[in-house]
Amino acid sequence: MRVIAGAAKGTRLAGVPAGTRPLSDRAREGLFSSLGGRVVDAAVLDLFAGTGALGIEALSRGAAEAEFVERSRQACTVIRENLRRTGLAGGASVVASEVQRFLGRTPRAFDVVLLDPPYAIPVAQLWQALDLLKEGWLAPGATICLTRPRRDYTDVIPVNWQVARRLEYGDTLVILYREV
């Protein structure tokens, strides 16, 4: 895996920890092409961060800051190494926490929220995280990016969100929601 574009373009990222399914370079490229200028100067929240590739791509493309939330301490170590490799650690913070526990904290608004949960996550757990985001975590007009397995996935659109874009890459579906 590598950073696709921006300040850290071409930087190779550290190996993927066991149990982590990173989003392909092609899917990340499509996602960030769809986001366009929305990431510039944005506050980005990367939930289920894995290797940190999504949040790092946002920082590389001009995001002002990124907060990475990942439950695996091994993956958090990989995220920190990737931030070091890219020289983007200054605008980042890494939190070792379950996503629901993190979202139970006092919220602060983010412009872009990236969610790349494990495909096997229970649906109820995923929708709980999406519901918690509506409790003060989203800046006005925020964009929420959710990855899901392409097969057997049925959209359920949270209240006050609209689907801005649906992208398909191999077995991955990327859905961009906007708060309205």
Query: Distance between CA atoms of 112 and 95, rounded to whole angstroms?
Result: 17
Closest CA to 88 of 130, 54, 48: 54
The distance of Cα 163 from the centroid of its chain, to the nearest Å, equals 17
| Confidence at residue 119, expressed as pLDDT on a 0 to 100 scale | 85
Q: Which fold has domain 25-153+162-179?
A: Rossmann fold (3.40.50)
Query: Distance between CA atoms of 127 and 114, rounded to whole angstroms?
Result: 14
Taking residues 67-78, what's their average pLDDT? Answer: 95
Return the percentage of the chain with pLDDT > 90, whole number: 74
Taking residues 93-109, what's their average pLDDT? Answer: 96
pTM over 0.85: yes
Query: Distance between CA atoms of 19 and 13, rounded to whole angstroms?
Result: 17
Looking at the predicted structure, is the pLDDT value of residue 167 above 70?
yes
**pLDDT tier for residue 154 given thresholds of 50, 70 and 90:** low
Looking at the predicted structure, is the pLDDT value of residue 17 above 80?
no
